Each structure stands twice: as C-alpha cells, then as structure tokens.
Amino acid sequence: MRCPITYQQVDSGKYSIVGLHSLSSKLNSLNDIPLSLSEIHQEYLSRAGKMSIQGVQPKLSMKLNIKENQFEIVDIKGKFILKPPNELYPELPQNEDLSMKMAKICNIEVPWHGLIYSKDNILNYAIRRFDRKGHNNKLALEDFAQLSNATRNTKYNSSMEQIVSIIDEFCTFPILEKIKLFRRILFNFLIGNEDMHLKNFSLITRNRKVELSPAYDLLNTTIALPNLIEEIALPIGGKKNKINHHDVIDYLGKERMKIPSKKIEEEIERIFSCYLEWEKLIEISFLSETMKEKYNILVQDRKKRIFG
C-alpha cells in the first residue's frame, strides 16, 4: 500500500502521517469522502449552478472538517477542489496528480494536491485553492483569458507570444516571471500537455507583487485523450505541431522572451536533473502499468526532440 497523497509506503491504513499532516498538523486519520463516484457526479449536477468553480471537467468545492477527519462538499467558502474520475477519459485523477508532482520536482510552484478515496474506494483528485488566504480573504487572481479579453469559447485563439506580452505588461518583475513561464512551457511540452490554453495560465497578486500563480491543470493529455491532432494548445511561431529545440529554446526562450543564454542553460540542466526522479515517480504512481509505460515513452520521445 502507498499513500495516495505522498506515494510513501504505509503499513496500515490508507494514508501516511506525512500525507495527513500536509493537510493539517491536527489530522491523524482521514475518512473516505462519504459519497460514491455516482453520488459525486449527482452532487456536481445538483450544485453546478451554485458554485464559482469554472471548467469543463466536473468539479466540486470542499472544506476539510478536522473534527470529523473528513472532507465535506460545500457550495461556498471551500478551500479545496475535488475532481472525480471521468468515464470518457481514463485515469485522469492519477494522471493529474502525478504530473503535478513531477512539476514540483523541477521547481514549478504547485498548490497542495493529492488523491483521496471516496466511500467506494475510488481515487479522486483534490487540490487546495491557492487564491484563498486565511478564513475569508481572497487573493486577486486573473487568468490570461480575462487579461486578453478572451472568453471560454476563444481561449485557444492566442499564442505563446501573446502570453509573453501579458507578462511584460502586467507583472511586477517580468523577466523573473518569463523564466518561470519558460520552465512551465518546457515542462508541459515534455509531459505531453497539449491543453495549456489561456485559462490555464493566471496572474496572482501576493504581497503587492503581481506574478504567475501556482501551476494547475497539469496533465499528460496526450495519453489521456484519444486522437489528438495538435501538440500544444497555443502556437509557438505559428506552429502547433512538430515542435523542436529551435522553437522552444532559440526562438521562444532566447529571441522572444529575451532570457539570457546562461539562464536558459540553467533551466535545461534543471530539467535534465529531474529525469531520474520522474522515472521513479511514474513507477510508484497510481497509474495502471499500461499508462505508466505510455507516460514514460512519451517523455523520452519529447526529451529527444528537444534536447537530442
């Protein structure tokens, strides 16, 4: 048995103490979500008009009840988001949780996240909301669709160059955020995430500084979604396919973002240093053996295309 929050081995129970304490130092056990998968989907349908969580994938808002050692579904003031499995796309919770953990390894900021069991022993993906501070304070957060006057229907009508322009216009320290953005673009291409549209990038204001928000919706969509045509959601130099070293490193990183060559080399070395840990993480993840193999093969293929 492994803890679905930390992937650590556990001798008894479903969660490790480290995993539980990552939620709260007062938590020493965690009961299953008191709903089955079908009941979770019913809750989503009944609450969809009441919650402020956007997105196509079914999501529910939750709070953690420490006294009851349990997550509870709520309409308002939820500190966590629950994403249940989707019958149309296999193993999405396991895929997203693994991808977020891989991002953290290469120093991409991510919120608390983990897999949690519902009462029918099904794994669901949970993530802490990063736009909440304390009990009632909400941090200013705007996604790049809002910042470029795009809508949910036009969130793909942009480019990576436009993403860079938004950072130049709004961020307090643009060059620092462009380095972080470059790391994320490189990471998302390497893991096969072709769905990083305008709404999957956001700016957050923390301590009077406007910066990239923690990363979210990181997912190997290439192995999850059938018959994908494009490799990336927003084009680089007009390209959405056959992306290579020149497109990402030379054109986008050096020419368009104007990131110094030394910093580019540091980011490449950072990614290279993560590969062994990525392989180990994929191996102990909650993906099926078939999906683990597909994930590994894709990462190795993308690595060769970018770095040779």
* Residue 141 φ/ψ, nearest 5 degrees: -140, 130
Q: Give the model's pLDDT for residue 227.
A: 81
> pLDDT tens digits for 220-258?
999 998 788 899 999 999 999 999 999 999 999 999 999
Q: Give the model's pLDDT for residue 56.
A: 56
- Same domain membership, residue 143 and residue 101: no
Q: Give the model's pLDDT for residue 160.
A: 97
In a domain, 8, yes or no: no
Domain span at residue 56?
A: 17-133
- Same domain membership, residue 298 and residue 149: yes
- Same domain membership, residue 124 and residue 198: no
For the beta sheet containing 123-128, the strands, ordered from the edge strand earlier in sequence to the opposite edge, are 70-74, 60-65, 80-83, 123-128, 113-117
Name the token pair of 60. Answer: 């529910």
- Same domain membership, residue 283 and residue 193: yes
Q: Select from 87, 110, 133 the last residue of a domain.
A: 133
Q: Give the model's pLDDT for residue 198.
A: 97
- Same domain membership, residue 144 and residue 124: no
* Residue 114 φ/ψ, nearest 5 degrees: 180, 175
Cα(198)–Cα(157) distance, rounded to whole angstroms?
Answer: 8
Do 116 and 124 form a contact (C-beta atoms < 8 A)?
A: yes
Bridge partners (DSSP) listed for residue 203: 142, 212
Q: Select from 133, 164, 193 the last residue of a domain.
A: 133
- Same domain membership, residue 99 and residue 241: no
- Same domain membership, residue 258 and residue 187: yes
Could you tell me which residues come within 8 angstroms of residue 118 by beta carbon, excluding any fewer than 6 positions away? 32, 33, 35, 36, 37, 40, 84, 124
Instruction: Name residues of the chain where pLDDT drops below 70.
Output: 48-56
Residues 95/100/102/104 CA torsion (nearest 10 deg) = -170
- Same domain membership, residue 301 and residue 204: yes
SS3 label, residue 45: helix
